[in-house]
């Protein structure tokens, strides 16, 4: 067992540096003054290089070969598989490319913060050009080693085992029925009166409400915290989970549901198997599974009318608005299930959201495969936005191709995870309902049976199972898009 034990010790050491990197990333987004950007970029690049060196040390190969002949338990075999996968992914890239991409991404992301608000595509493109070039170089290297297409090779970083061929089939299916569903829902809701929030909702009060909601959702504040950033996210590590949201004093709607979403990510992290903490098998299975948990919290639970009744009462109390019609349960449900075509992905409802993801997937797939040029992106964005949602972004880069943070650091292959997550979440809910009376649980306000099911079937598995094995184990079948379509139709029509 000596080789196996050496591997575990080595990867636990790596995880400690990844811990530091995660907290530095959170600080960069939530706390760091703008003047610290250059120094932080250099420090994080140095840290990424150090982690890369640890992941590519030659003795790992010897340990893997020796451990493969050992009599290991099923879980230990899964651990060895995940260690080998991480080692192979890391060994593909030269150290110089890791450092160059980290520096270029940090520079691009920092400049994007002001360039987006100024609608400055030309300024953004100067930095992004290098990020795209380095990402294409990475994709080429990964493709040559794995035998996959360039985009599929990049996608393995986020969705192990997934392919663009499978995604193309699923997304073509969604595109065949989504436009008519959007139109039908909007026609149905046109006659429904909804009272929009009006007035001032202080960020301090919004945060207090958010904390109460996080407690209802079982967030462990001994191992995490809530902060504010330009772009909401969940970061940190399982023992120290950091989530952020953003507050608009003119309305509370986005920040509150953003907190519900990020709490889903956080509960998954906090629920990962403690016995495998700090090792590859103890990490989240994929970004799609990660998104399935945030979207389970936001869409399957958070926008359920019974849960919204709880939220409406909590919001009334915090905003001292017991008699305000905005906060009545029926109106609250209308607010959070309103469907509108919009330009901004993070503000999109769950019906139009897949269109935003498919648009980005198709562009990044063709960009990384070398079928389009980075300068083509604004025009393609406008064409696809017009086709899928009937909206134009011509010369509106701020609300078009510059609105997301993901491409600034070269996270190509990430976007499909969002809609994969929605598909997984709907399938998990359908399976859960076979053994848990979900509506009764939500109505009673004690959500423990829901969390227990998620813990038993998803969280505690970490990466011990491959993605398709995890889905099959939890639901009794392979990925099935039918549940997602049925969920949208049942809720909105």
Active site residues: 262
Asked whether the beta carbons of 364 and 210 are under 8 A apart, the reply is: no
For 198-230, b/e burial (b = at least 16 CB within 10 A) is: eeebebebbbebbeebbebbbbeeeebbbebbe
| Strand arrangement, sheet containing 240-245 | 224-228, 240-245, 234-237
Q: For residue 213, what are the CA distances in angstroms to 70, 206, 302, 329, 374? A: 48, 11, 10, 16, 41
Asked whether the beta carbons of 460 and 273 are under 8 A apart, the reply is: yes
**What distance in Å separates the CA atoms of residue 153 and residue 386, rounded to the nearest whole number?**
30
**What distance in Å separates the CA atoms of residue 127 and residue 109, rounded to the nearest whole number?**
9
3-state secondary structure of 458: coil
Q: Which long-range contacts (CB under 8 A, 24 or more apart) does 36-42 make?
A: 37/106, 37/110, 40/106, 41/102, 41/103, 41/106, 41/107, 41/110, 42/103
Q: For residue 226, what are the CA distances in angstroms to 247, 341, 351? A: 12, 30, 28
Closest by CA to 273, choosing from 460, 486, 466, is 460
Q: What is the CA radius of gyration of the chain?
A: 22
Asked whether the beta carbons of 382 and 392 are under 8 A apart, the reply is: yes
Q: What are phi and psi of 313, to 5 degrees?
A: -65, -40
Check residue 298 and report its DSSP letter. I
Closest by CA to 11, choosing from 62, 66, 57, 69, is 57
| Span between the terminal Cα atoms of the chain, in Å | 58
Residue for token pair 């956080």? 266
For 392-402, b/e burial (b = at least 16 CB within 10 A) is: ebeebbbbbbb
């Amino acid at each position: 067992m000596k080789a196996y034990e050496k591997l575990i010790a080595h990867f636990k050491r790596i995880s400690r540096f990844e811990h530091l990197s995660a907290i530095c990333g959170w600080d960069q987004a939530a706390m760091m003054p703008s003047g610290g950007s250059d120094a932080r970029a250099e420090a994080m690049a140095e840290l990424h290089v150090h982690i890369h060196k640890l992941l590519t040390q030659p003795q790992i190969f010897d340990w893997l070969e020796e451990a493969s002949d050992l009599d290991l338990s099923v879980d230990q075999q899964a651990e060895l598989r995940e260690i080998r996968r991480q080692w192979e992914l890391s060994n593909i890239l030269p150290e110089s490319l890791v450092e160059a991409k980290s520096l270029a991404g940090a520079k691009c992301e920092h400049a994007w913060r002001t360039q987006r608000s100024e609608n400055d595509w030309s300024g953004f493109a100067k930095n992004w050009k290098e990020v795209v070039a380095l990402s294409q170089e990475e994709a080429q290297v990964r493709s040559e080693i794995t035998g996959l297409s360039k985009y599929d090779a990049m996608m393995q970083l986020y969705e192990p085992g997934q392919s663009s061929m499978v995604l193309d089939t699923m997304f073509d299916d969604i595109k065949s029925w989504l436009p008519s569903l959007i139109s039908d829902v909007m026609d149905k809701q046109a006659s429904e009166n909804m009272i929009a929030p009006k007035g001032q909702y202080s960020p301090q009060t919004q945060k207090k409400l958010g904390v109460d909601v996080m407690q209802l959702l079982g967030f462990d504040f001994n191992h995490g915290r809530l902060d504010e950033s330009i772009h909401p996210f969940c970061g940190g590590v399982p023992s120290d989970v950091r989530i952020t949201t953003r507050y608009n004093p003119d309305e509370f709607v986005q920040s509150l549901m953003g907190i519900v979403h990020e709490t889903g990510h956080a509960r998954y992290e906090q629920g990962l198997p403690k016995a495998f903490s700090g090792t590859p098998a103890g990490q989240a299975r994929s970004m799609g599974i990660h998104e399935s948990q945030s979207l389970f919290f936001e869409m399957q639970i958070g926008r359920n009318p019974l849960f919204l009744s709880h939220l409406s009462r909590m919001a009334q109390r915090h905003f001292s608005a017991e008699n305000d019609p905005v906060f009545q349960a029926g109106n609250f449900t209308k607010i959070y299930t309103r469907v509108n075509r919009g330009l901004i992905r993070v503000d999109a409802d769950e019906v139009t959201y897949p269109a935003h993801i498919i648009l980005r997937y198709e562009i990044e797939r063709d960009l990384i495969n070398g079928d389009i040029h980075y300068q083509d992106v604004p025009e393609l964005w406008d064409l696809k936005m017009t086709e899928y949602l009937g909206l134009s972004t011509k010369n509106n880069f701020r609300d078009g191709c510059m609105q997301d943070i993901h491409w600034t650091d070269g996270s190509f292959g990430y976007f499909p995870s969002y809609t994969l997550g929605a598909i997984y979440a709907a399938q998990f809910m359908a399976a859960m309902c076979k053994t848990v009376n979900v509506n009764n649980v939500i109505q009673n306000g004690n959500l423990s049976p829901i969390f227990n099911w998620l813990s038993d079937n998803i969280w505690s598995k970490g990466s011990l199972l491959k993605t398709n094995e995890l889905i099959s184990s939890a639901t009794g079948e392979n990925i099935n898009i039918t549940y997602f379509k049925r969920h949208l139709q049942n809720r909105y029509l």
